[in-house]
Amino acid sequence: MNADRQRIIDEKRKTTVDNPDFSIVWEGQPAGFLGSILSALHMNFTKYQISKDELIVTKGFFNRKTDSVELYLLKDPDLKESLWQRMFKVGTIGVKVDSHSRSYQAGRVIEIKNIKKSAEVRKLLRDYIEADVVERGISYFDKV
């Protein structure tokens, strides 16, 4: 498990101004019943991406909005699966923006809705969050 995190950190350190790496490690769109219908009609305009440094959520067709949050600001990715989501083999990942960050998004929960292979995506996101925190040398103190 530590070897995977070290590999992720090593990959991130290769990125410099002279060697930019904007590679996306995962991307997806809402799936399930409604997501499948919208995708078949080419009307699914929500896209989720995880890069080595940030979580990117793009929504909209006429007015497109892209939100990005640095991974080190995210905490505790959780997985929720309702009965109908389990029927369609999708899930929703909720990740909290650290309440100690100075961004306008502090304390809110970002949801990545109706994703296929949601357990694997949650683990991937968790590993990249932890690797980003370790790389930046950030330590957290829990309030008691």
pLDDT tens across the length of the chain (144 residues)? 578 777 777 776 665 555 555 678 899 988 877 766 766 666 778 899 999 889 999 998 889 999 889 999 998 899 999 999 999 899 999 999 886 666 666 788 999 999 999 999 999 999 999 988 888 888 766 555
* Residue 32 phi, psi (nearest 5): 80, -165
Identify the structural domains of the chain with CATH numbers, from first to last: 2-16+28-136 (2.30.29)
Residue 128 confidence (pLDDT): 93
What global pTM score does this model have? 0.77
The pair of structure tokens assigned to 53 is: 């440094």
Residue 144 confidence (pLDDT): 56
Residue 37 confidence (pLDDT): 72
Tell me, letter by letter, the H, E, C secondary structure of the chain.
CHHHHHHHHHHHHCCCCCCCCCCEEEEECCCHHHHHHHHHCCCCCCEEEEECCEEEEEECCCCCEEEEEEHHHEEEEEEECCHHHHHCCEEEEEEEECCCCCCCCCCCEEEEEEEECHHHHHHHHHHHHHHHHHHHCCCCCCCC
Residue 56 confidence (pLDDT): 93
Residue 118 confidence (pLDDT): 95
State whether the Cα torsion 117-48-81-31 is positive or negative: negative
Closest CA to 25 of 106, 111, 126: 126
What is the rounded CA–CA span in Å between residue 97 and residue 75?
6
